[in-house]
């Protein structure tokens, strides 16, 4: 899509989302130095008050480039800026929002915040590019990606790519490609073609949770302990389960950052049937307070730790499991992520 068409379509998308009485007009800047705004956008309120925005048109934008784009917009003018693109990924939109930049894509992902005249517009568009013109972006689906994320979160940087590949038990070429993508997503910093220097662990785990669901990626079976969750915890402490296990979810979170009593015991086990028999819990389709999980990968049993006589999965695994669980679990995840962030 050429720039003129992008500006025309962006104007149409914005016009459809402005409140009644508001007007907008885009003026393309044909002769301009490279990197300068593509256009100016005039937005006029019902009372005649008007503001002018510098428009940056991007055929594609990765999160890592947002900081430079903000600097460019600030240098161009004191007026607010607007970034437009055919499609902006969720991670790019999150970074634009964090940098307090207005944005619009042609699928309807729009955020426009003006002080004078006062205006707030935010709408949701597509989550996937409806007409990708480039190879699809990477994701964090699958066991190999999960092992990379876990290693990046569990071991302190700096770390060479070869060491990271060994820690995650993946081949070095895969590790290098994924790390480069994570760098473009502004989730870590690395030297050019070199080692990982720093990792935004909470942001990386949140990004992982977009491609992972604890009750979908793992084989989960629901059970009921009629004597309650605390009875099951005591049974685990007493060594009732002989197979390998590791607690996750709310019980694990409470051992790290106590919030509220757990209503659901969630644990990974090597053998669901033997664990269920040892804990004396019964299968149920409703009212479950125990979830036994056959893990998607053995990484869930790596870097476990002991809270008294209970075995707990690594904090990074606790956080992603809570983020992708129903109910109040995502709010519990925030306390775990805060602790992970402070430990950087």
Within-domain flag for 8: yes
Same domain? 158 vs 247: no
Q: Residue 194's domain spans which residues?
A: 143-209
Note the pLDDT of residue 260. Answer: 78
Q: pLDDT confidence of 137, banded at 50, 70, 90?
A: low
Same domain? 223 vs 290: yes
Beta-bridged to residue 44, according to DSSP, are 23, 50
Note the pLDDT of residue 70. Answer: 84
Alpha carbon 140 to its chain's center: 10
Same domain? 154 vs 230: no
Same domain? 112 vs 167: no
Note the pLDDT of residue 78. Answer: 56
Residues 340/205, Cβ–Cβ less than 8 Å: yes
Same domain? 260 vs 172: no
* Pairing mode of beta strands 39-44, 110-114: unpaired
Within-domain flag for 45: yes
CATH number at residue 262: 3.30.460
Q: pLDDT confidence of 96, banded at 50, 70, 90?
A: very high
- Tokens 């890592």 belong to residue: 64
Same domain? 118 vs 149: no
Q: What is the pLDDT of residues 210-257, one digit of tens each?
A: 999 999 999 999 999 999 999 999 999 999 999 999 999 999 999 988
Same domain? 219 vs 306: yes
pLDDT over 80 at 201, yes or no: yes
Same domain? 200 vs 235: no
Same domain? 87 vs 150: no
Same domain? 200 vs 283: no
Chain mean pLDDT for the chain: 90
Mean pLDDT within 71-96 = 83
Work out how many domains the chain is built from and give that number: 3
- Cα separation of the two ends of the chain: 42
Within-domain flag for 249: yes
Within-domain flag for 134: no
Q: To the nearest whole percent, how much of the chain has pLDDT over 70?
A: 95
Same domain? 78 vs 11: yes
pLDDT over 90 at 134, yes or no: no
């Amino acid at each position: 899509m050429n720039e003129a068409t992008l500006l025309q379509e962006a104007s149409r998308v914005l016009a459809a989302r402005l409140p009644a009485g508001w007007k907008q007009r885009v003026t393309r800047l044909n002769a301009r130095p490279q990197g300068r705004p593509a256009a100016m956008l005039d937005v006029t309120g019902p009372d005649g008050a008007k503001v002018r925005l510098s428009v940056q048109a991007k055929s594609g934008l990765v999160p890592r480039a947002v900081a430079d784009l903000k600097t460019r917009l600030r240098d161009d003018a004191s007026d607010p800026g607007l970034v437009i693109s055919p499609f902006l990924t969720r991670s790019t939109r999150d970074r634009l929002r964090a940098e307090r930049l207005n944005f619009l894509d042609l699928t309807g992902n729009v955020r426009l915040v003006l002080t004078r005249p006062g205006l707030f517009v935010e709408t949701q568009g597509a989550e996937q590019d409806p007409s990708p013109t480039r190879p699809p972006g990477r994701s964090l689906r699958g066991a190999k990606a999960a092992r990379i994320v876990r290693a990046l979160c569990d071991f302190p940087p700096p770390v060479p790519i070869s060491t990271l590949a060994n820690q995650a038990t993946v081949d070095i070429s895969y590790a290098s490609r994924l790390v480069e993508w994570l760098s473009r997503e502004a989730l870590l910093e690395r030297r050019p073609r070199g080692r990982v220097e720093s990792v935004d662990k909470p942001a990386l785990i949140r990004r992982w949770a977009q491609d992972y669901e604890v009750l979908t990626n793992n084989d989960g079976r629901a059970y009921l302990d009629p004597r309650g969750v605390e009875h099951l915890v005591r049974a685990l402490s007493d060594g009732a389960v002989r197979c390998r296990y590791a607690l996750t979810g709310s019980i694990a979170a409470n051992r790290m950052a106590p919030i509220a009593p757990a209503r659901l015991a969630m644990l990974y086990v090597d053998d669901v049937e033997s664990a269920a028999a040892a804990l004396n819990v019964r299968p149920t389709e409703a009212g479950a307070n125990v979830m036994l999980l056959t893990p998607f990968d053995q990484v869930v049993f790596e870097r476990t730790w002991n809270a008294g006589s209970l075995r707990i999965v690594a904090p990074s695994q606790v956080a992603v499991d809570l983020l992708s669980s129903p109910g109040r679990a995502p709010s519990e995840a925030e306390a775990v992520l805060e602790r992970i962030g402070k430990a950087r």
